A and B are shown apart, each in its own frame.
Chain A
Amino acid sequence: MIQRLLKSREALLAAAIIGLIAAVATRYPAFAAPVNLAQAFNDTSILIILALAQMTVILTRSIDLSTASNLCFTGMAVAMLNRAHPELPIALIIGVSLLWGLALGAFNGLLVWKIGIPPIVVTLGTLTIYRGLTFVLSGGAWVNADKMSPAFIEFQRQALLGIPVLSWIAIAVIAAFFVFLRYTKLGRDIYAIGVNPTAAVYTGIDVGRTKFIAFCISGLASGLAGYLWISRYVIASVEVANGYELNVIAACVIGGISIAGGVGSVAGTVMGALFLGLIGLALPVINVSPFWQLAISGAAILVAIILNARGEKSQGRLILKKAAQA
């Protein structure tokens, strides 16, 4: 039992998170207070949403480097829409951000599915394209807080049962991904094509189409994150979330998602994101300069991939009888 727990990445990661909280709390008990932890979750919400979508893409043996640019572009689009028409309801804003993000994700997916360009090349290209289009759209200008409607800004901050809407959205997204990846045929197909594309074809799964859908999901999540990010940090500019795609991938890697596809869980990814988020929050508390954060997350990524690789070592074939019986 203990051995099995040790082998489970999720358990290891949960232990690391609890250890981190406990270590900080020994000196600053307030850090472990429920209020603070709820705040930490809220702060990590956007990263969680993006990481879950990225995980879906990575499961299919692909990668989406364009998520942060998609977020930036969509965020700018809805911010400008809000500036021009402050009267539009938030539901519509969210709807637009989802569709906008979906369109960008579908473009990635189509290039991968229909033309067969490697995902890393496609999304490397769209990474610069989407951010460039943000500039074209905005003319390089910012949308500041005073140009955003109160409803636009306040929506995610409203409390529902004492918890901000942003956290509720993250919880809903986690639940949706959990159900989708575990309880739907499409979700299981996503795992199957990552584990063994050949066997997937033998089982009658359309590998290209499934990858396309994964990119669409990634687009949807990036779009939603676009609105949430802009309304959270109340500024829309070309620089928004620059380089953030690597944090997202880092959360996945720390969460135990294998870059080779097919291996990973929603719980792992969420914890990977929380781990990164908590480090960011813990550093100022223990009086370490926030400049340490990047190096620590880099080290965490390396430790995570080394640990993951050790768990995946496959054994050679057993030919000798006595070896087979042992």
Chain B
Amino acid sequence: MRALHNVNLSLYPGQVTALVGENGAGKSTLVKILTGIYQPDEGTIALDGKPVTLASAQSAFELGITAIHQETVLFDDLTVAENIWLGHAPRTRLGLIDWTAMNSQARAVLAQMHAAHIAPDARLRDLSIANKHLVAVARSMSIDARVVVMDEPTAALSAKEINELYDLVALLKSQGKAILFISHKFDEIYKIADRYTVFRDGEQVGEGFLKDTAQNDLVKLMVGRSVDKVFPKHHAEIGGSVLAVAGLSHPTEFENISFDLHRGEILGFYGLVGAGRTEVMKALFGMTRPSAGKITVEGKPLVIDSAEGAIDAGIVYVPEERGAQGLGGGLPIFMNVSLPSLKRTSKNAVLRLKNEFDLARRYTERLDLRAASLSQDVSTLSGGNQQKVVIAKWLAMSPKVIILDEPTKGIDIGSKAAVHEFMAQLVSEGMAVIMVSSEIPEILGMSDRVVVMREGLITATFENKNLKPETLVRAAAGIAA
């Protein structure tokens, strides 16, 4: 599967080009190629008309291409000045690092960015995410970068911080730098970008000037294919309430989260990355403690303080980060599937391998898992098949509620369809599904109802009848209808 195919992208000095596209459209792959971390199979990259090779992170940096990543790739325990100058620090005549010059030059760069409030000798760890971004920008200014790539830099920022970042983009622009700005937020794209380019499924599907393009056209270009073709229609009987959440709150992550989930229902959770959806799900699964609120499962109020407790209550969670949170890499498929079910497959805590193989086979075959054997190491499977193993593991527990967090992120089209097909089956058997997704077609294609979150709050709940992608995008980005 190709992450990126036949992309022709041009960036111009003194202009901001917005790159838009759904998750998995190939945006981050492009960022990694431009910063020298991935190598393209085909094609050329030219800087000022001259072809260049970005063989390593170092060479991209030296050529003046820098990136501000969504999750900052900086050094938490080093100072601000050092994060700006690491690798090209000013030296004294003896060849030693000149900390005085480094600090004063860092102060100068920060002042130029109207970020004089950041002390050069502060530890990066003690800075807010917004200020860390500013340090990353300062790093790119310290080498007089030609190209600055910004990968969803406002995803985790507050409104005030976002405005400061816009000022910074304007400053970089006025200095003649070419900027690639990746964002999901349409209001900000129109505010700061001059051009746009749209990616969909690894291909470039459109580009142009924003002043000539209406917001709705851009949304259509991004969402693309018609929604009902790809997704299996499900006709599940929607039954009584399984899970009721009322006023769930957390000191820093979310507040006043209330919703109802019914038997046979797929409830979609839409929002931008960092809107707090995953955090809510982790609280439902007992991984974090909410500070207030009530969780009721089939009419019984519950306090869920561990994953064990959630599983016992019939709530299971397929995490977004499969590798880090869902699988025991290096261990065979059947062990991964049977892990939560060991109580049932074993007898007096003694393993019964036959039961485990039977269990694993029953659920993985239902999901159409492609594997050489059930003893194959899960980490050798493709992303889609890994996801099937994680889902099989939870199905074997016959849960009441299954939470799927970005269930099709980063997996191939075939596996995507299998996962969707399967969700339809689950609800027809009376299970209730919560699906967290940032992909609009998936949300619209699969959900019965959609909850939209923004900045830790629920901003809207929609019945999925004649629901328009534009409506969702607006609710998630906070644009008035």
Contact = CB atoms under 8 A, between A and B. Distances in A.
- So, do A and B actually touch in the complex, CB under 8 Å? yes
Interface of A: 179, 182-185, 188, 191-192, 195-196, 198-205, 262-263, 314-321, 323-325
A204 B254 CA distance: 38
Given A198-B73, A319-B253, A320-B250, 7 more contacts: A200-B75, A203-B87, A317-B129, A317-B253, A317-B274, A319-B275, A323-B253
Nearest to B159: A321
Contacts of B97: 182-185, 188
B252 A204 contact: no
Nearest to B37: A202
A4 to B, nearest CB: 11
Given A185-B89, A201-B57, A204-B56, A192 B252 contact: no
B279 A319 contact: yes
Contact of A316 (B57, B58, B78, B253): B253
Contacts of A191: 75, 77-78
Given A195-B78, A317-B252, A319-B253, A188 B86 contact: yes
Interface string B81-122: 010001101000001110100000000000000000000000
Nearest to B87: A203
B61 interface: yes
Mostly, the A contact residues are helix
B201 interface: no
Given A182-B97, A185-B97, A320-B253, A196 B74 contact: yes
Interface in B455-469: 455-457
Contacts of B57: 201-204
B264 interface: no
B125 interface: yes
Interface residues on B, range: 35 or more
Contacts of B89: 185, 188
Contact of A204 (B58, B73, B76): B58
Nearest to A205: B87
A203 B58 contact: yes
A188 B90 CA distance: 13
Given A203-B87, A319-B456, A320-B252, A179 B156 contact: no
Nearest to A320: B456
Contacts of A323: 251-253, 456
B87 A204 contact: yes
Contacts of B78: 188, 191-192, 195
Contacts of A321: 158-159, 455-456
B319 interface: no
Contacts of A202: 35, 37, 57, 73
Nearest to A322: B255
B24 interface: no
B150 to A, nearest CB: 16
Contacts of B87: 185, 203-205
A262 B156 CA distance: 26
Contacts of B160: 325
Contacts, number: 102
Nearest to A260: B77
A204 B160 CA distance: 34
Q: Which of B76, B86, B250 gathers most chain A CB within 10 Å?
A: B86
A316 to B, nearest CB: 6
A320 B97 CA distance: 41
Given A183-B97, A188-B97, A199 B252 contact: no
Contacts of B156: 317-319
B80 to A, nearest CB: 14
Contacts of A196: 73-76
B125 A314 contact: yes
Contacts of A195: 75-78
A200 B95 CA distance: 22
Interface string B18-62: 000000000000000001010000000000000000001110010
Contact of B252 (A201, A205, A319): A319
Nearest to A191: B78
B76 A203 contact: no
18 contacts: A179-B96, A184-B96, A195-B78, A203-B57, A204-B57, A262-B75, A317-B156, A317-B252, A318-B156, A318-B252, A318-B253, A320-B251, A320-B252, A320-B276, A321-B159, A323-B251, A324-B252, A325-B160
Contact of A320 (B82, B159, B455): B455
Contact of B75 (A199, A320, A325): A199
Contact of A192 (B75, B159, B250): B75
Nearest to B76: A195
A278 B274 CA distance: 52
A195 B76 CA distance: 7
Contact of A263 (B35, B37, B74, B77): B77
Contacts of B255: 320
Nearest to B98: A183
A318 B57 CA distance: 30
A198 B74 CA distance: 9
A203 B252 contact: no
A203 B58 CA distance: 6
Given A203-B58, A204-B87, A262 B77 contact: yes
Nearest to B96: A183
A96 to B, nearest CB: 29
Q: Interface centre among B37, B78, B89, by most A CB within 10 Å? A: B78
A248 to B, nearest CB: 23
Contacts of B99: 182-183
Contacts of A316: 252-253
Given A198-B73, A199-B73, A320-B254, A204 B61 contact: yes
Contacts of A184: 95-97
Interface in B231-285: 250-255, 274-276, 279
Contact of A319 (B58, B77, B276): B276
Contacts of B250: 320
Contacts of B129: 317-318
